[in-house]
Structure 1
């Protein structure tokens, strides 16, 4: 039986852009949510009651951003 390892150097730490609460995506929860969406992004509702966007950039770094009103 072959065993495969997935080695990644992606930065998985990010913060809420409103209150700066730290998040860690070590379980790939947010990565999987981003992968399911066509946009490659997901939204997160923080404990501060604000909703923000999150994605991974081309270098594999987790990026969070404020969602503005349109």
Structure 2
């Protein structure tokens, strides 16, 4: 991913979708949850940033696990 694309993805990629369309991913090592709707501003990941748009070298902020160590969690949003 080039720097311009990465910058766009960190801002949420400009996609306009409803909160119900966002997914939740959980770390299999510590249980940390990444919610696409909320992003992770502490790491520069804007609300609305899709999981696929997060750099592959991103790690869990709680335990340092690799992005590959997360799985999608089925949730219902209102």
Q: TM-score, normalised by structure 1?
A: 0.41
**Higher gyration radius (CA):** 1
The structure richer in helix per residue is: 2
The structure richer in strand per residue is: 1
Which of 1 and 2 has higher RCO (CA within 8 Å, sep 6+)? 2
